[in-house]
A and B are shown apart, each in its own frame.
Chain A
């Protein structure tokens, strides 16, 4: 079965630290890739997406992600986090244009 894994369950950083959240998926076919964020008490919001082209994609709020096909990975990065980035982050993958498979999420806590 297709699956998505996220390396870290909970990440704690200080403000201005750099962030990298890992995401790997299980299948090597045609994929679309996404990162979503869920701020406390808010709904899931799309941070960025990759369909094709440049494997380094930029999203909102200074986030970016890099698709490495050979590693089945789509890691999320931000050079300098802020307290307001405290949230839960979900990686999601569609395989052959079908339904989303979500990762289990990574909770990010940024200390002021």
Chain B
């Protein structure tokens, strides 16, 4: 399934690095999402973009910075992360909020 792609699939970064996660959806959807999936915790919604505008930011630390340049692309810029930020970061898209979401494979992030 290639509806939602994410790169890179794995990322190891130091606490002082700056990196970006990329998500692309090929489904013609108008809403995109970033989630954090940690072991033994429910999926945490981080950011929501609808029609390329950020509509929700669930109290995410400023070291995570999203960007949505168009309806098909979503980025998550990372800087000065902490080890507890190590997790699987999932991107999803949907045709309108509240409809079923389609997920990418995720980026496995390890902060050392």
Q: Footprint of B on A, CB under 8 Å?
A: 32, 34, 36, 42-46, 49, 90, 94, 96-100, 102-105
Contact = CB atoms under 8 A, between A and B. Distances in A.
Contact of A103 (B42, B56, B100, B104): B42
B105 A42 contact: yes
Contacts of A49: 100
B56 A99 contact: yes
Given A44-B90, A105-B42, A100 B101 contact: yes
A44 B103 contact: yes
**Chain B contact residues, majority secondary structure:** loop
Nearest to A97: B98
B45 interface: yes
A102 B1 CA distance: 22
B98 A98 contact: yes
Interface of B: 1, 33, 41-43, 45, 48, 56, 90, 92, 96-106
A43 B103 contact: yes
B97 A90 contact: no
B33 to A, nearest CB: 8
A44 B6 CA distance: 13
Nearest to A36: B103
A104 B42 contact: yes
Given A99-B48, A105-B42, A43 B106 contact: yes
A46 B97 contact: no
A46 B102 contact: yes
A34 B98 contact: no
Nearest to A49: B100
Contacts of A46: 100-102
Which among B42, B96, B104 has the highest number of chain A CB atoms within 10 Å?
B42
